[in-house]
Amino acid sequence: MNNQLEKDLVISVKDVSKKFCRDLKRSLFYGIQDIASEIIGKPRQSEELRSQEFWALKDVSFQLKKGDALGLVGANGAGKSTLLRIISGLINPDTGVINVTGRVAPLIALGAGFNPILTGRENIYANMSILGLSKQEIDKNFDSVVDFAEIWDAIEAPVQTYSSGMSARLGFACAIHIEPEILLVDEVLSVGDIKFKMKCHRRLAKLQEKGTAFILVSHNSHSILNICNKAIYLKQGQLIMSGEAEAVVNKYEEDLAFSEGKDGRSKAIMRLREKPSHESSGLDITSIFFRDEQGNILETPLSGKPAYLCVECQANQHFEDINVGVKIRAILGEQDVVLYLTSNNDSCLLEITPGKTEIQLQMSQLGLSPGRYTARIYLRQGVRSFDIIESFRFIVETSEIMSRCLFYQPRNWQTIKLD
């Protein structure tokens, strides 16, 4: 390793492992056993699992340089928060070596380090003192911290009266104003309104320009791609992939998308049992699926290609003015609504005749980006609700590179001669 690389390194993690015990009493016993071993100079059995233990992290290695932004991706229980806690010094690894150079500001929980019975003012001084600032430095930054957190009206109130968003804003403001060499951010950017999130992203960009390195944990892939240049993908404590953020996020989303079904794929077809007459509303949804333009069933629709969302229903009489609603959310990220369409809003109330009918929402070019989605689908007539499907899950694939896009934009390219 050359001298310049060594100088720029702020975090070096080599073969780090951490194990936990699922049984509390047994965990306490193991803790006492380990302390006793250290007292008598007997080596701990760090590399072997004892009864009820499991590896939260296993042989994880990576490096982080000044100005790097590293995204941590993985499902719940992958070991992301455990890794952040080891880097921040809150817990020690069982095996491996970790070297951290510079001041670390951990934001690994909402309001972490805050005393709920102290006021916002008192917590700013206590929290920033723990992070290494003197009283004079805190005095100098106090107004800026409160301005950033936007909590002047509540600064003299106990933190236990704050909302989760206010606590997150205050914690983030304290952390960034100590100008750390390393900033650890665990999902706290998912709290708060869009205005505050944008302000946080701008401040992270400024810190990165000054050389601050940070690690961001988020289930929102677009946050990772917009902020981070590198990423690592953890799965059940194992390091699956590391490298450029876009390639790592693509691998993570691909694994999530194809984690269901016997053949590794989740088919976008929902068949429902036919309801007995005493349970029927008179108009019931019997199946949901996609078709292509030729009428063939699509197991996985493609971004930018034609896709007809089909809602098959059974009616026991004639109905007019039926409103069909489709509300689609992304399963990854913050589960925001990405598409909400109703036939009523499109001035297209439908007529349903007795027997089976297939209602088609015809999308000439599907605008959803690649990923996993869930749709809530309902049939109504005015205020009367006939049937509701709360979660029709499906996958959207793509034949193009569009990992940084939120939707598919139909387009053409051309040149125009001006002289």
Is pLDDT at 283 greater than 50 in this prediction? Answer: yes
Residue 266's pLDDT is: 55
Burial class (CB in 10 A: 0-12, 13-18, 19+), 62: middle
DSSP 229: S
Domain 3-257 has CATH 3.30.360.10: no
Span(s) in the chain for CATH 3.40.50.300: 3-257
pLDDT digits (tens, 9 = 90+) for 154-179: 999 998 998 877 888 888 888 888 87
> What is the rounded average pLDDT of the residues 321-346?
85
Q: Are 44 and 34 in contact (CB under 8 A)?
A: yes
pLDDT at 107: 73
DSSP letter at 397?
Answer: B
Q: How large is the angle between the packed helices 164-176 and 135-149, nearest 10 degrees?
A: 140
> Residue 371's pLDDT is what?
80
Report CA torsion sign: 204, 238, 104, 115.
Answer: positive
Number of helical H runs and strand E runs in the chain: 9, 19
Determine the residue type at 12: S
Task: Give me the mean pLDDT over the 307-316 stretch.
Answer: 92
Q: 192: alpha, beta or left, given left = phi > 0 and alpha = psi -120 to 50?
A: left
Predicted pLDDT of residue 288: 92
**C-alpha–C-alpha distance, residues 91 and 103, integer Å:** 17
User: Token pair 């209602």 is at which residue?
Assistant: 359
Mean pLDDT of the chain: 83
Cβ pair 100, 10 in contact under 8 A: yes
Question: Alpha-carbon distance 223 to 373, whole Å?
Answer: 18
Q: Where in the chain is the domain with CATH 2.70.50.60?
A: 269-396
Residues 131 and 178 sit within 8 Å (Cβ to Cβ): yes
Specify the range with the lowest mean pLDDT, choosing from 66-70, 118-122, 133-137, 195-199: 195-199
Averaged pLDDT, 274-278:
68
Question: Residue 211 contacts by C-beta under 8 Å, 6 or more apart in sequence?
Answer: 66, 67, 181
DSSP H stretches of helix in 40-107 = 80-88
The radius of gyration of the chain from alpha carbons, rounded to an integer in Å, stands at 27
**Mean pLDDT over residues 216-242, rounded?**
85
Bridge partners (DSSP) of residue 105 are 183
Q: What percent of the chain has pLDDT over 90?
A: 27
Put residue 41 in one of left, alpha, beta given phi > 0 → left and psi -120 to 50 → alpha. Answer: left
**pLDDT per position as a tens digit, 178-196:** 878 888 887 666 656 667 7
What is the pairing mode between strands 238-244 and 230-235? antiparallel
What tokens were used for 250? Answer: 């693509």
Average pLDDT estimate for 344-353? 91
What is the per-residue pLDDT across 8-23, written as a single tens digit (0 to 9) for each? 888 999 999 999 888 8
Q: Any idea which residue has 């600032």 for tokens?
A: 133
- For residue 262, pLDDT beyond 50: no
d(CA 109, CA 88): 12
Give the Cβ contact number of residue 12 at 10 Å. 17
Most confident of the following: 261-275, 328-342, 357-371: 357-371
C-alpha to C-alpha distance for 165 and 39, rounded to whole angstroms: 45
Half-sphere exposure of residue 4: CA atoms within 13 angstroms, side-chain side: 0
Q: What is the pLDDT of residue 308?
A: 94
Closest CA to 67 of 244, 210, 267, 196: 210
- Asked if 186 and 80 count as a contact pair (C-beta separation under 8 A), the reply is yes
- Cα dihedral 394/235/204/339 (nearest 10): 10
Q: Please, are residues 382 and 349 in contact by the beta-carbon 8 Å criterion?
A: no
**Please, are residues 49 and 226 in contact by the beta-carbon 8 Å criterion?**
no
C-alpha to C-alpha distance for 191 and 111, rounded to whole angstroms: 12
pLDDT digits (tens, 9 = 90+) for 69-122: 999 988 888 888 899 889 988 888 988 999 988 888 777 665 566 888 999 999
Of 3.40.390.10, 2.70.50.60, 2.40.10.10, 3.30.590.10, the CATH number of 269-396 is: 2.70.50.60
- pLDDT above 70 covers a percentage of the chain that reads 87
| Residue 334 pLDDT | 58
Count Cβ neighbours within 10 Å for each residue of 102-129 and write b for 16 or more, e otherwise: ebbbbbbbbbbbbeeebbbebbbbbbbe
CA neighbours within 13 Å on the CB side: how many for 293? Answer: 7
Which secondary-structure segment (H or E) carries 31? Answer: helix 24-39
Q: What is the pLDDT of residue 6?
A: 65
| pLDDT for 5 beyond 60 | no
